[in-house]
Chain A
Amino acid sequence: MTRKTRLGWLALMVAAIAARGHAVELKIGDAAPNFTGIIGIDDKEHGLADYQGAKLVVVVFTCNHCPVAVAYEDRLVALQKDYQAKGVQLVAVNVNTIADDRLDKMKERAAKKGFNFPYLYDATQKIGRDYGATVTPHVFVLDKDRKIAYVGAVDDNMEPDKVKSPHLRNALDALLAGKRPPQEVTKQFGCGIKYE
């Protein structure tokens, strides 16, 4: 291989990594990326430190337009209702920037579905890249030390009546009991997040 070809390959690899942009993959036990100053549907800025009273924080990357994300909305509302008193705080984050996913549409969607958790909009998409979110919905559970304790899907079936394993609830139950989740990583699935 000539020096020129090697340089060519190197350039290609660098370009490929740069193009992916969100190639980060958080591992269980990694420190959760911090975030600050992200606007919510309440028009206020939110940051991870706002939830320091919570034992566990569930960061869910979601959006309005994706049928899979939509299919999980009611389950997220029910989850926050069931786990709030146990010290769990769910935070929904959208980083898609198409017209249907912008802040005004997020407000409409949240009102319609009765979201009982913050719904944040990061048009810079930084938080999505920091967490390595690839789809909506994509779930990250942060433990009391704000380390990643669970990554993946909400459960094992988009159809609510076909769910056999509620992965996220299982993870929260285990963590609240001081144990490790039975499955710490499940395969996230849904609509690909569009990074600019």
Chain B
Amino acid sequence: MNVHGDCPDFRGASDGTPATDSFAAKMGLSPSHYGRARSMSPTRRVAATLLAGAVFATGCGTEARPKPPPAAAVPAIDAPGLARLLERQHGKVVLVDFWATWCGPCLELFPHTVELHRRHRQDGLAVITVSLDDPDNELAVRRFLGRNEAYMENFLGRYGVGPDAFAAFGIADGALPHLKLYGRDGRLLKSFAGGGRPIDPKEVQRAVEAALK
């Protein structure tokens, strides 16, 4: 599947990927807190899936497209919280995607992360996304996640948009997007930083697939 698709405003949903509430269970969060928007959305999701099929079938015309609802409330996370979450992923390969709504290249890369999760979550890949947006910008974050059908463990950095966030999460060059890949043993295998060029999603995919082997 071409993750960029021919319809940049509507990505994913063609396989009707169900939401997972495993994170809510792990964090001891009540469904009303974490799973609210997800648990009320199956009907819309099915409708969206059907409509998406129709849209694909008609070659992405200009007819009305379904508007996915914003994702559920995105919990705040700090660096120790992320470290604890990583520790709980025993035996899984973990990809962490640091992004922000203010970062254009992040919005281009993000669908690739969604697609990697969809393709490999059954193979033992966990994906965590951390938005480095201002906490007051949460709705925009949720809208973007919803639009991208991002059924991963999604968080909003606790530090706001500033040097503390980048220092705490270990983003050396201070630039987004930034991806970190952890092996099944929990060891950091690779950080993907732009380094003056955009991150190549194929390179990320190759590294993820190598780590899953």
Contact = CB atoms under 8 A, between A and B. Distances in A.
Q: Do A and B bind each other?
A: yes
Interface of A: 19-22, 67-68, 134-135, 138, 152-153, 155-159, 162, 167, 186-195
A191 B175 contact: yes
Given A67-B102, A159-B134, A135 B160 contact: no
A189 B163 contact: yes
Residue of A67, A138, A167, A192 with most partner-chain B CB within 10 A: A192
Contacts of B42: none
B160 A162 contact: yes
Contacts of A22: 196
A186 to B, nearest CB: 5
Main secondary structure of the interface of B (DSSP, over half): loop
B-side interface size class: 20 to 34
Interface in B157-182: 160-167, 171, 173-176
26 contacts: A67-B102, A68-B161, A134-B174, A134-B175, A152-B163, A153-B162, A153-B163, A156-B162, A157-B160, A158-B162, A159-B136, A159-B161, A162-B160, A186-B167, A187-B167, A188-B166, A188-B174, A189-B162, A190-B175, A191-B176, A192-B105, A192-B173, A192-B193, A192-B195, A193-B175, A194-B194
A67 B196 CA distance: 17
A21 B162 contact: no
B197 interface: yes
Contacts of B196: 20-22, 134, 192-195
B203 to A, nearest CB: 12
Nearest to A158: B161
A187 B103 contact: no
B162 A155 contact: yes
A68 B102 contact: yes
Contacts of B198: 194
B206 to A, nearest CB: 15
Interface string B123-164: 000000000001010000000000000000000000011111
Nearest to A152: B163
Given A20-B196, A134-B174, A187 B163 contact: yes
Interface in B84-105: 102-105
A195 B174 contact: no
A189 B197 contact: no
A21 B165 CA distance: 25
Contacts of A19: 195, 197
Interface in B175-213: 175-176, 193-198
5 closest A-B pairs (Cβ-Cβ)? A192-B175, A195-B196, A158-B161, A187-B163, A192-B194
Contacts of A186: 163, 167
B118 to A, nearest CB: 27
A155 B105 CA distance: 24
Contacts of A158: 102, 134, 160-162
A167 B33 CA distance: 37
Contacts of A135: 173-175
Contacts of B161: 68, 157-159, 189
Residue of A19, A153, A189, A194 with most partner-chain B CB within 10 A: A189
Given A189-B161, A193-B196, A194-B198, 18 more contacts: A19-B195, A19-B197, A21-B196, A22-B196, A134-B196, A153-B162, A157-B161, A157-B162, A158-B162, A159-B160, A162-B160, A186-B167, A187-B163, A189-B162, A190-B174, A191-B176, A192-B193, A194-B194
A117 B142 CA distance: 39
B112 to A, nearest CB: 17
A152 B163 CA distance: 8
Contacts of A157: 160-162
Contacts of A188: 163, 166, 174
